[in-house]
Amino acid sequence: MPSIAIVGTGANGAAIGADLAEAGHDVTFIEQWPAHVEAIREHGIRVETPEEQVSATVPVLHFCEVATLRRTFDVVLLLVKAYDTRWACELIKPHLADDGIAVGVQNGMSVDDMTDVLGAERTLGAVIEISSTMFEPGVVDRHSPRSRSWFAVGSLGPATVGREEEVATLLRHSGSVDVVSDIRSAKWMKLVINAAELVPSAILDLSIVEAGQHPGMKEVMLQAGYEAVDAAVAAGRSVVPIFGLTTVDPSNPHAFVDTLMDVLLEKYVLSHTLSTVLQDWIKSRRSEVDQINGRVVEELARAGRQAPVNQAVVEIAHRIERGEIKRSTDHVSVLRAALPDSV
């Protein structure tokens, strides 16, 4: 049985870790929130879902305690924020077995940071779709139970081809898993839907579903997704199915965005599900806007094109994080001003 470290046990990391522990796996949590660490040490981790409650007793370390480790791990699941990827990889690198494998179970295009630090021969890519929140240390409110959670796992190069199933077998304790041949494109497709829903809904201070229902906002969210899929294609990536879809029409990438949005709202998020970005802002943390909407702006700029809606999202998000403005539905008019005239 492999030894597993989960680096970053926020809502999603803790939920996955609890599933693995419940299944009898050797799991260690590594976490940066002191109160969360102490709560897990005292009471274990508890995950509430619409279908069941999962509780587990799991060894847990503060990030500052990693230097005391005298063991290595066969599998590392990385679930820190995308902007924390590089230093988190440096933190765990001495404790990843020489033949171990690390997996970035994250949003954003963090795989290159991982391979730079850990090596392509010890890194797999992954896509995650779980909806969870956590505001009380040691307690996760998981909105999408295992029956409605999905992952993709894929190799980033020939050095790890054939090892995908090692990780897929573990993640199947927490949801359905597809092993894919083009993980970079799959991650871009997830970034497409993230660009459409995470930061735009947080800007309005609404749940993802509420934002999509707010007058005039669905067009903004879809346009952010259209710009993102255009950026993916400009970056040389393919339009590939995710979220359990089996076919796509690569000749109509904007229609694919429409489908992704429908699948997300129908299957993966509840009416009260808050985006990870809004959760971060409620906790006074900065968001991943630069790694998501900002990445769209950067990729289209490289192609000599603009991403006006994503640019507006980035600018408003930065002002919110600087404390200059507040989250509000008043920002809908500014976002709609960035829409093309045909919308």
* Burial category of 301 from C-beta neighbours within 10 Å (exposed 0-12, middle 13-18, buried 19 and up): middle
CA distance 247 to 239: 10
In order along its 343 residues, the chain shows pLDDT tens digits of 899 999 999 999 999 999 999 999 999 999 999 999 999 999 999 999 988 899 999 999 999 999 999 999 999 999 999 999 999 999 999 999 999 999 999 999 999 999 999 999 999 999 999 999 999 999 999 999 999 999 999 999 999 999 999 999 999 999 999 999 999 999 999 999 999 999 999 999 999 999 999 999 999 999 999 999 999 999 999 999 998 888 888 889 999 999 988 888 887 777 788 999 999 999 999 999 999 999 999 999 999 999 999 999 999 999 999 999 999 999 999 999 999 986 6
Q: What angle do CA 150, 89, 289 make, to 5 degrees?
A: 60
- Alpha helix stretches (DSSP H) within the chain: 11-22, 34-43, 85-92, 111-118, 164-171, 183-203, 208-213, 217-234, 253-263, 276-282, 293-302, 308-321, 332-337
CA distance 192 to 169: 27
Length of the chain: 343
What the block records as the tokens of 58 is 């799991």
pTM of the entire structure? 0.95
CA-based nearest residue to 11, from 208, 202, 276, 203: 276
Chain centroid to Cα 128, Å, comes to 6
Structural contact between residues 147 and 205, judged by C-beta atoms closer than 8 angstroms: no
